[in-house]
């Protein structure tokens, strides 16, 4: 762990908390928004402790996760579309509070929060299995194909987990309209996966053989 890494991680964490809070509570026009606080809690509390663990046990993984600058032009569109999805989805959820739009029942909201937390645990398992993971598409020095654990079920378990995370977010917020916006994510991630697999076939030894071994990319028995 270095001072620079610590400061960078804390800065990005606090910026994320402020940005999400702004996008949710400003359109709502109030801080009396239980669903908003629930999402903030289940999103950022585990993230904080996961960051602490990575900082001491695997600082290189943390450093790669903090590096969000996409190097490939094709993927910048994917990143921008994802950012737009979050922006519109969170703002719509907040506006729903301000204008008293339909709010999903509390039981549905709590169920979505449970799904979110389970997905968070699976996300941590993916990071444990594959220490080469970064937020950008790249092949690192001495990187090898991982084909055990969740990687033995689907080729992109990180994206499978983020699918659960992101689709549960608007439900935690109680917003049907926000959920409709977040339904764009499966299409966005499919585009990313198709390009990523072409890149890995060319740059990562053994990836073609891995594709033959593990048939499904995102969802078992579906795709």
**Over the stretch 106-147, which tens digit does the pLDDT of each residue have?**
999 999 999 999 999 998 888 888 876 665 555 666 678 888
In this predicted model, what pLDDT tens digit does every residue of 51-88 receive, in sequence order? 888 888 878 777 776 765 655 566 677 888 999 999 99
Average pLDDT over residues 27-36: 96
Average pLDDT over residues 167-187: 96
Q: Are 152 and 127 in contact (CB under 8 A)?
A: no
**Which of 13-17, 152-156, 201-205 has the lowest average pLDDT?**
201-205
Contacts 24+ apart (CB under 8 A), 202-209: 203/139, 204/139, 204/143, 204/145, 205/144, 205/145, 206/144, 206/145, 207/145, 209/145
**Which of 25-39, 45-59, 173-187 has the lowest average pLDDT?**
45-59
**Which of 21-25, 38-42, 141-145, 201-205 has the lowest average pLDDT?**
141-145
- pLDDT at position 103 is 92
b/e code 26-61 from CB counts within 10 Å (16+ = b): ebbeeeebebbebbbebbbebeeebbeebbeeeeeb
* pLDDT band with cut points at 50, 70 and 90 for residue 1: low
Strand partners, 103: 175
Any idea what DSSP says for residue 223? -
pTM over 0.75: yes
CATH topology of domain 3-213: 1.20.120
- pLDDT at position 135 is 56
Residue 214 reports pLDDT greater than 70: yes
Q: Domain extents for the chain?
A: 3-213
Residue 223: CB atoms within 10 A of its CB come to 12
Element (H, E) at 68: none
Q: Are 88 and 155 in contact (CB under 8 A)?
A: no
Q: What percent of the chain has pLDDT over 70?
A: 90
- pLDDT at position 61 is 73
Residue 200 CB-density burial (10 A; 0-12 exposed, 13-18 middle, 19+ buried): buried
SS3 category, 37: helix
- pLDDT at position 60 is 76
């Amino acid at each position: 762990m270095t001072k620079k890494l610590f400061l960078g991680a804390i800065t990005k964490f606090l910026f994320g908390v402020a940005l999400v809070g702004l996008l949710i509570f400003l359109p709502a026009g109030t801080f009396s928004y239980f669903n908003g606080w629930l999402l903030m809690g289940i999103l950022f509390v585990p993230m904080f402790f996961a960051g602490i663990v990575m900082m001491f046990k695997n600082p290189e993984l943390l450093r790669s996760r903090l590096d969000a600058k996409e190097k490939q032009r094709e993927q910048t569109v994917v990143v921008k579309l994802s950012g737009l999805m979050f922006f519109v989805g969170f703002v719509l959820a907040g506006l729903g509070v301000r204008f008293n739009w339909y709010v999903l029942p509390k039981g549905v909201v709590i169920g979505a929060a449970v799904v979110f937390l389970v997905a968070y645990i699976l996300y941590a398992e993916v990071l444990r299995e594959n220490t080469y993971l970064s937020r950008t598409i790249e092949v690192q020095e001495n990187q090898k194909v991982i084909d055990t654990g969740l990687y033995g079920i689907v080729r992109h378990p990180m994206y499978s987990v983020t699918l659960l995370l992101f689709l549960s977010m608007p439900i935690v917020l109680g917003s049907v309209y926000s959920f409709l916006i977040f339904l764009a994510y499966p299409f966005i991630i499919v585009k990313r996966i198709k390009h990523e697999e072409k890149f890995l076939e060319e740059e990562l030894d053994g990836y073609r053989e891995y594709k033959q071994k593990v048939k499904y990319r995102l969802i078992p028995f579906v795709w």
